[in-house]
Structure 1
Amino acid sequence: MKPSNIKLSPVRKITTLFLLCIFAGSTFTACNKFLDTKPEDFVTPENYYNTEADLDRALNGVYNRLIDNFGRMYSRGLYSFLSMSDEFFYKNITVNNLKVMDFDAGQLDVGKLWEVAYQGIDRANLLLENVDKPKMDEKKRGAIKGQALFLRAYYYFILVDNYGGVPLKLSSTKSPVEPALPRSSVAEVYASILNDMKAAEPLVNDISTYTNNERVTTTAVQAILAKVYLTMAGEPLKDVSKYADALTYVNKVIASGKHSLNPDYSAIFINHSKDINESKECLWEIGMYGNQQGSTQLAGGVGIENGVESPDDNVGYSNGPVHPSARLFNLFAAEDKRRDWNIAPYKYSIVNGVVTKVAYTPAQIYERTAGKWRREYETQVPKNRSYNSTNFPVIRYADVLLMKAEAENAVNGPVAEAYEAINMVRRRGYGKPPATPDATVDLPAGLGKDEFLEAVQDERARELSFEGARKHDLIRWGLYLSKMQSLAAEVAASAPSAWKYSGNAAKNTTARNVLFPIPTTETTINHLAEQNKGW
């Protein structure tokens, strides 16, 4: 258990028992009597969901799908190989791989992301259909219902963000031969997301109710609603009226007074690695637990998939697969402390049998790896090469402030409130007190609306690098294809010859890559699910 944290317990496994009547030494009458006996060890909706504890276990099962054992959700994929953008590339991968955007509708990870999201949705549906069964405190029941509603909506947000319109299923699966559903439109899916999240907002608990931030709470719902509205304001819906709604919800989070910036940027991620609660800065985290050894299967790969290169298990192994693009590195000023935290300035090597920290030279930009979460700070031992208990932050207060700056600018232009929101993030990034104006790092006054938006876009890239935000942002801004194409040209023109392959993902990106294909596993059995354009 993490200090000051209570980890979500593993979902209770629901199994079906198949009874076999063996006739040796028995009569048909005895066998029939045995089969007529009502089984008492089946777990079904009829004999489950009868107590508050049953509802809690079922809710844990809904959360559980955010930590897919195969790494497609927040244990790995959603901040790494499923979020390819202009901020990073994968070392030594050149062809025939999702990591260089060379894949088709049969790609395993694309199919598994779809599958796991719908598993979460089906679990939420089943819980919502049975949440009123037990006798219990109504406020506690409401909190469970609110979390289930939000999580169902959040799984749909992941789906619509990655695949476009998807089948909208709001009731649990009762039979494997249920009729197939066609894809709903993007607008219809977002309408359902808003309906569920807004219904969840008054039901879920305040974050002060818990000793950790792994449960969905009021401010988490509000912050994600702001993100949903900002997305709707951009591509593909382009409903600019939603900027005002986004502003409403970020202002709710700010006015709550529940959250603030950690004055030390690196401390956020060190605390994650040390399993220390970060509920002031981080509104909602995906709670990882253990290292995938034993019966608990809730570990992840934060800082392994995207960590500092190290061959040593005591430091914490990572082969350092995720490398920053030179574009990302050069986006930081040398004085910005986030640069050498987000992008590791060193690696670990074994020199003459001794584990040694080796600094990169100023010219070694492509050699560097992501450094946001560093395994050297992990406290759980022995350290596993593939799994750890480091939480992943879905939404941070810095993100809220940057959404505030963007939405304020869209609605009212670059007014003082928009400037202050982005400048608080910038000051902290340079090691300055977030609330104290500082002319050396604050944005210059007098920026136009478009110039201010560009400043916000760059600031989001710096602040949220390697957190799975960049691809999402570029798509909603309508910049994904152009940014990837320009990166391919930059790499071809200026990268050292040994690193020319680092532009392959960008080079392979075409208009179809704004969305994943509908997986072959879905289109094969659901002939109503039309494929996305270009796939």
Structure 2
Amino acid sequence: MKRKLFYLIAISGALFTTACNKDFLDRAPEDQYRNEVLWTSESDARAALSGCYRDWEDSYNVIYMDCASDNAYSQFLWEGYMNIGNGSLTPADVNVTNRWNFKTIQKCNWFLENVDKTPMDETLKTRFKAEARFLRAYQFYTLTQLYGDVPLVLKTLTTGEANVVTRTPIAEVQKYILDELAAIAPQLEPSYSGADVGRITRGAAYALRARLELYMGNYADCIADCEKVMALGYDLFRNTATPANSYQDLFRIQNENNVEVILDMQYKENDYANGNIGIMPTSSSGGWSSVDPTQALVDAYEMKNGKLITDPSSGYNAEDPYTNRDPRLSASIVYPGQMYDGKYYNPIDPASGDFMLGDNNSKTGYLPKKFISHLEDYTDMWNTGLNMILIRYADVLLMYAEAKIETGVVDNTVYDALDKIRLRAGMPAVDRLAYNTQATLRTLVRRERRIELALEGLRWYDIKRWKIGDEVRKGTVYGARQGTVNATNGKVTFTADHQLVETRLFDPSIHYLWPVPQKEIDINGKISQNPNY
């Protein structure tokens, strides 16, 4: 996917195109706007805000981000995540450069500097401003997670001003984000209907605030904000017709905007398409196998009885490793012998068209299934309207449980939050005798986060804040074992050891932050580089 690079520069003339994100952004395009003619009506302000929503996030970032972790491997260097995952990233790497991006921030600054002059309902104007302020705060949240200190730019800049800005300490930027989200949350609607579905909600503000508080170790504040989200009516999605498919079906296009979704990136087929779905399937399904789940992720799933595969009493069989596992494994990952896209998936046999060493085939022998459980949902998987979920209610329950565990307050609400997630997935409730201390519950909630949120782009941020990169992001990445798959019944027979995929490096003094793009430093000598790059 080709992506245009944007540097921290002024928006010359403040020109931008309206977006087509679902209905609420599906406006007749007015290609260019000038300040002297724009701010004359509510429709003008709405169109300008639509420009702020355009490209404020990207499904590419969600789908690929687990390749920066121990969950997945990115097999194509030019897609920008192989180097990030294996520790060889440099200030010149493509996604290191692409994600240092202030375009949305500058669009929101421009909107906020001008919208007050618009003659329109003041309550609606306040909400519009709150939406823009959220979009801006979200950008700073992401930038600080990746790069640490970043310029805190809260006004439109001339080119000259942009070329001399400096990095603001991360603590100051994070304080701004938290204060901003607290201020705007009451100004946002709890939910929307009709053409406004997809706009930023009050729950999104509180949930993002809780996420940042968790990452910062502000556990009491995280608990309080999670409780505010819990009071807004969100719930775990359930397929009432086939409850066993609830977790898998949560991510299908026909179930988008469901009761679990708190924040997502909205797409619309043809007009504003999610064009990244095709990177996940194997070559025989017309895909690229760009994001390959690792053996380490597969091994992290419990057995269906709630025991780890390393427990001798779990019933795990290394020669039949995918049977009787946590149902979220088969819902999230396509593994050898699984029925998928009309056939038993066979990446382990050299005679198969999907063999793991073939072109555009998974190098680990595993494929993502989340988002693409039913390829028939899409007429064209390179042109879909699938929204990408950024925050969902299960994450809030996990944040709440983790924050309470870390404060040492282990009560029934902790177990209840974890049980809701596990029971929805078809797993047993938490064994309260086995998990009855802070240490054991910490291990459990960290594993639950990895499993429940697998391949949703969040694992790296957990590794970063838990400071476990040296443990999980270094060493050999393995895939499935070679062997055969019976084309009639899917029975797997292994004949070799696990496939060696990649050897990774991790240096805690370097790799918890990405480097600042070299092109940015070349333009602005006042921008400093992160340590040891």
User: Would you say 1:532 and 2:505 are equivalent positions?
Assistant: no
Quick one: distance in 2 between partners of 1:12 and 1:6? Answer: 13
1:285 equivalent to 2:302? Answer no
Aligned match of 1:9 in 26, 50, 54? 26
Equivalent residue for 2:36?
46
User: Please, what TM-score do these two structures have when normalized by structure 1?
Assistant: 0.78
- The question of 1:249 aligning with 2:225 is answered yes
C-alpha contact (below 8 Å) 2:69/2:460 kept by paired residues: yes
SS of the residue corresponding to residue 132 of structure 2 reads helix
Does the Cα contact within 8 Å between 1:93 and 1:100 map onto a contact in 2?
A: no
Kindly indicate whether the alpha-carbon contact (under 8 Å) linking 1:282 and 1:397 is maintained by their aligned counterparts in 2.
Answer: yes
Q: In the TM superposition, what is the alpha-carbon distance from 1:213 to its structure 2 partner?
A: 5.0
- Judged with a 3 Å threshold, the aligned counterparts in structure 2 of structure 1 residues 394 and 424 are, in CA distance, closer, same or farther, namely same
For the residue of structure 1 that corresponds to 2:369, the secondary structure is coil
1:110 has 2:86 as partner: no
- Alignment partners' CA distance in 2, 1:393 and 1:489: 31
Conserved? CA contact 2:220–2:403, under 8 Å: yes
In structure 1, the residue matched to 2:281 is 308
CA distance in 1, matches of 2:41, 2:30: 17
Confirm or deny: 8 A CA contact 1:220 1:395 kept in the other structure: yes
Report 1:119-138 matches (<5 A).
Answer: 119-138=103-122
Q: Is 1:393 aligned with 2:389?
A: yes
In structure 2, runs of 5+ residues without a counterpart are 1-20, 305-325, 350-355, 357-362, 483-495
Instruction: Specify the code of the residue in structure 2 equivalent to 1:391.
Output: N
Distance 2:327 2:342 in 1: 23
Q: Which runs of 5+ in 1 are unaligned?
A: 16-42, 67-72, 234-241, 432-437
Pick one of 292, 307, 326 that aligns with 1:323. 292
2:512 to 503, 511, 514: 514
Instruction: Identify if the C-alpha distance between structure 1 residues 180 and 443 changes in structure 2 by more than 3 Å, giving closer, same or farther.
Output: farther
Give the corresponding residue for 2:169: 185
Separation in 2, partners of 1:267, 1:303: 21
Alignment deviations for residues 395-434 of structure 1 (CA, whole Å, 9 cap, x no partner) = 1111011011011112243221111111111111226xxx
The answer to whether the Cα contact below 8 Å between 1:52 and 1:136 also exists between their aligned partners in 2 is yes
Partner in structure 2 of residue 31 of structure 1: none
Q: Are 2:205 and 1:201 equivalent residues in the alignment? A: no
Q: 1:379 to 1:397 in 2, by over 3 A?
A: same
How far apart, in 2, do the equivalents of 1:416 and 1:283 lie? 25
- Give the letter aligned to residue 90 of structure 2: D
Residue in structure 1 matched with residue 521 of structure 2 by the alignment: 523
> What does residue 160 of structure 1 align with?
144
Q: What is aligned with 1:88?
A: 72
| 2:322 alignment counterpart | none
Q: CA deviation at 1:448?
A: 1.3
Q: How many angstroms does 1:267 deviate by?
A: 4.2
What are the Cα deviations for residues 277-316 of structure 1, in whole angstroms up to 9, with x where unaligned? 333011111101114xxxx3x22245333x332534xxxx
| Alignment CA distance shift 1:442-1:308 (3 Å) | farther
Deviations 1:475-507 (A, max 9, x none): 01111232212xx2574999967831x233x33
For the 8 Å contact 2:112–2:132, the answer to whether it is kept is yes
Q: What are the Cα deviations for residues 142-179 of structure 1, in whole angstroms up to 9, with x where unaligned?
A: 11011111111000001000000101100012445555
Amino acid corresponding to residue 299 of structure 1 in structure 2: A
Deviation of the 1:140 alpha carbon: 1.1
**Residues 70-95 of structure 1 deviation map (CA, whole Å, 9 limit, x = unaligned):** xxx42212431575101111347699
CA contact (8 A) 2:192 2:198 kept: no
Q: Which of 113, 119, 124 is the equivalent residue of 1:140?
A: 124
Output the CA distance in 2 between the equivalents of 1:370 and 1:493: 14
Partner residue of 1:368?
Answer: 366
Match of 2:400 among 382, 397, 404: 404
Aligned partner of residue 440 in structure 2, secondary structure: helix
| 1:47 match: secondary structure | helix
Q: Spell out, residue by residue over 1:48-75, the C-alpha distance to the aligned partner (whole angstroms, 9 max, x if none).
A: 1222111111211111122xxxxxx422
Residue of structure 2 equivalent to 1:70: none
Contact 2:62 2:388 in 1 (8 A): no
CA distance in 1, matches of 2:244, 2:122: 40
- Taking the aligned partners of 2:273 and 2:337, their CA distance within structure 1 comes to 24
Q: Which has the larger radius of gyration?
A: 1
Q: Report the Cα distance in structure 2 between the residues aligned to 1:494 and 1:520, rounded to whole angstroms.
A: 40
Select 1:299's aligned residue among 251, 257, 273: 273
> Structure 1's 456 and 107: CA in aligned 2 closer, same or farther, altered over 3 A?
same
Q: Letter of the aligned partner of 1:130 in structure 2? A: N
Matched AA of 1:325: T
Q: Write out aligned runs for 1:333-348 (5 A).
A: 333-335=302-304, 336-345=326-335
The answer on whether the counterparts of 1:8 and 1:287 sit within 8 Å (CA) in structure 2 is no
Q: Amino acid of the residue matched to residue 58 of structure 1?
A: A
Which residue does the alignment assign to 1:37?
none
CA root-mean-square deviation: 3.3
Q: 1:408 to 1:177 in 2, by over 3 A?
A: closer
Superposition pairs for residues 12-51 of structure 1, below 5 Å?
A: 15=32, 43-51=33-41
CA distance in 2, matches of 1:379, 1:176: 49
1:484 aligns with 2:473: yes
CA distance in 2, matches of 1:10, 1:164: 37
Distance 2:465 2:44 in 1: 40
Query: Is the 8 Å Cα contact of residues 230 and 407 (structure 1) preserved in structure 2?
Result: yes
Partner of 1:418: 414
